[in-house]
Each structure stands twice: as C-alpha cells, then as structure tokens.
Amino acid sequence: MRTLLFLAPTLVLLLAGCNGGGTSSTPAPTTPCVAPVTVQVLYPQPGASAIPSTLTAIYVATSGAFPSDSNNAWDTVIVGPPAYGTQFTGQFTATTASALPAGSATPTITNPQYYSTALTNTLATGSGFSLYINNLNDASCYAVGTGASALSSFSTQ
C-alpha cells in the first residue's frame, strides 16, 4: 500500500507533463504574404513566353525599399508544373535600372527602386511558372495557397 501511495503522485506528475498535446509545433500560416511596398515584376515580363530555362534572376521594381528586418527577409517562390514543384529564390538585393536585362518591362511605378533575386535551380523546359512574394520572417503568412495572388506568370522555351 505504501508503494502505491508513493507511486500515485509520481504518476500524476508524469501524466500532467504530457498534457495530451504531444510535441509543440509552429502554427500553420493563416494569411497570404503581402509585400510592404508595391512590387512590379520587370523580368521576365509578365506573360512572357520562351524564357530560357537557364534564367538566373528575377528583376522587380518597387514603390519603396523593402524593410531591412533581418537583412531584407523577402524573396519569391516560383511554382511550376507538378513534376517541377516549387523553388525559393534568394533574398532580394538592391540593383539599378542599368542592370536590367534586355526585354525587361518598363516600370509603371513612380521613382522605382530596383531589386533582383537569384534562382538556384534551372527551370523545367516548355513549362508555365507563377511567381509569388514570400516573407522569410513571418511564419504566419504563406506565399502560395488560397488567397495568395501571383505577382507574375511566364513560360519557358
């Protein structure tokens, strides 16, 4: 009996520690990511076709600077056909209008600031892609999903 009285509080403490919740995890994102500035994709131009699958960077114009939280925590997600999946690009880095590739769109934003973001993988050939904005520092938002609007779409040759 004495053993049972000793084990009962220990068992209660062990069970209380479990609280039925299992391991903790980050909550799922609940809203689409929205850039803090207006973003216009310049290259590849929205709706462009025959873009080389070896594309190395996306160029955008913005209505202001991206916030410098954690060294600019904004990038893009490129979504391709199911066999290709998705690709996260590098973080945006400031550039100049003179660095834009030939065939870039003309910005409609007044006094734009220019950024580029590097691709890490070759794109699938003969495929359509959509480009979404992503905030690396905000786990409560998602780049792709219900309610998320593509910044641009293009296809490869």
Q: What is the mean pLDDT of residues 123-144?
A: 90
The terminus-to-terminus CA distance of the chain in angstroms comes to 80
Q: Is residue 141 pLDDT above 60, yes or no?
A: yes
Q: Is 59 among the domain residues?
A: yes
Name the region of 145 (left: φ>0; alpha: ψ -120 to 50; beta: rest). left
Q: Is 40 among the domain residues?
A: yes
Q: Is 3 among the domain residues?
A: no
How many folded domains does the chain comprise? 1
Q: Is 25 among the domain residues?
A: no
Amino acid occupying residue 146: T
Give me the chain's average pLDDT, please.
83
Query: Which carries the bigger pLDDT value, residue 26 or residue 47?
Result: 47
pLDDT digits (tens, 9 = 90+) for 106-131: 999 999 999 999 999 999 999 999 99
Q: How would residue 105 be classed by pLDDT, with cut points 50, 70 and 90?
A: very high
How far is the C-alpha of 55 from the C-alpha of 44, rounded, in Å? 9
What is the CATH classification number for the domain harbouring 126?
Answer: 2.60.40
Q: Is 97 among the domain residues?
A: yes
Q: Is 87 among the domain residues?
A: yes
CA distances from 155 to 10, 55, 124, 129 (A): 63, 11, 9, 6
Length of the chain: 157
Q: Is 100 among the domain residues?
A: yes
Q: Is residue 47 pLDDT above 80, yes or no?
A: yes
Sign of CA dihedral 15, 16, 18, 19: positive
User: Domain limits at 35?
Assistant: 31-152
CA distances from 14 to 17, 28, 114 (A): 5, 29, 57
Q: How would residue 2 be classed by pLDDT, with cut points 50, 70 and 90?
A: low
- Give the pLDDT confidence score for residue 64 in this predicted structure: 92
Q: Is 130 among the domain residues?
A: yes
